[in-house]
Amino acid sequence: MLIGIDLGGTNVRAAVVTRKGEVVEKAQRPTDAEGGPTKVVDNIVAVVKEAMERAGVGNGAIIAGAVGAPGPMNWQTGVVYSPPNLPGWKDVPLAEMVTSRLGFTVYVDNDANAACYGEFWSGAARDVDSCVMLTLGTGVGGGIVVEGRLLRGIDGTAAEIGHMCVARGGRLCNCGAHGCLEQYASVSGLVRTAADGIKDGRQTVLTERAGGDLENLTGKMISDAAQEGDAFAQWVIEETGRWLGVGIGSLINLLNPEMVILYGGMTAAGDMLFTPVRDMALAQAFEVPGKRAQIVTASLGDDAGVIGAAGCALQRAER
């Protein structure tokens, strides 16, 4: 058995996972990020023990575990530097702390990379050798598996797909650069595109729903308005799809993947999002890799993180 842990800013999840990538049992509890690293590690240990108890397995049955944690980090030493959504963290030796408390080896990997590895190992991409995953949330996270191997890069910072430049001199990103994909293709980017259009005088029910303050706009408001037939809201979702397609077209030319996986609440928009994504990706990519790459939704949902972390643990334990 393997232990997969998904450390988020709000919740920490753990699962007991088989060598084939099947979840045996899982548990979840609040991260208590405000409590700092010590409290978070207490919660990690507790949630792992809870999952193991439910599954009826002891330490003797565990090959290894891994935590999918927000970066930046050093995945080889297991030190997490200072993730924006884990306040008070600075150079925390997470792998060492969790390993000594649990009594079996626990590795640390980037959370988005781990989720991608989960979809590759036992989700949407289980029958292919190469895939790219984009997680569409407040930002855009990414993971890349090439010929069966997670691409981490020399410093472990590879696959920052959200910070690929898609517009020179474009919107300023939190990372300090301009025109990053996540400024257009994340939920925040979607909201920004809507707000910009409303400021330009576009007619939409969103103006009224925001109550006169565009700061109130949310992704949910936009998707609801689009479902109800608001033409501007539909355009905003399509435009977001076209930005995503531009980024994905470049990824397809770079990597020639068999599959591109999109994950996040935004994918519930279905064809309204996927049609412009596919059209734009095909227009941008070379013909052969463009036609090859299937662009699909993720299939593991919230379990991708824990399953992927378990898969990373297996891969690293066997090396």
Contacts to Zn ion by CB under 5 A: 163, 173, 175, 177, 180
| Of 150 and 180, CB closest to Zn ion | 180
CB of 182 to Zn ion, least distance (A): 6
* Residue corresponding to tokens 């919107």: 171
Nearer to Zn ion by Cβ, of 36 and 179: the residue is 179
Minimum CB distance to Zn ion smaller for 142 or for 276: 142
Residue owning tokens 């995945």: 75
Cβ proximity to Zn ion: between 188 and 294 the closer is: 188
Distance in angstroms (rounded) separating the CA atoms of residues 269 and 228: 12
The smaller minimum CB distance to Zn ion, of residues 190 and 313, is found at 190
Shortest reach from residue 180's CB to Zn ion, in Å: 3
Rounded to the nearest whole angstrom, what is the least distance from the CB of residue 225 to Zn ion in the complex?
28
Least Cβ distance, residue 297 to Zn ion (angstroms)? 24
Q: How far is the CB of 305 from Zn ion (least distance, A)?
A: 22
**Cα dihedral sign for 194, 198, 200, 203?**
positive
Kindly list the distances between the CA atom of residue 16 and the CA atoms of 78, 172, 208, 307, in Å, as whole numbers in the listed order: 21, 41, 48, 9
Q: Which residues contact 60 (CB under 8 A, 6 or more apart)?
A: none
Residue 237 near residue 190, CB atoms below 8 Å: yes
Q: Collapsing DSSP states into helix, strand and coil, what is residue 196?
A: helix
Minimum Å distance from CB 222 to Zn ion?
22
DSSP letter for each residue of 224-281? HHHHTT-HHHHHHHHHHHHHHHHHHHHHHHHH--SEEEEESGGGGGTHHHHHHHHHHH
Give the integer Cα–Cα distance in Å for 193 and 191. Answer: 5
For residue 205, give the 3-state DSSP assignment. coil
Rounded to a whole number of angstroms, the minimum distance from the CB of residue 246 to Zn ion is 15
Between 152 and 163, name the residue whose CB sits nearer to Zn ion: 163
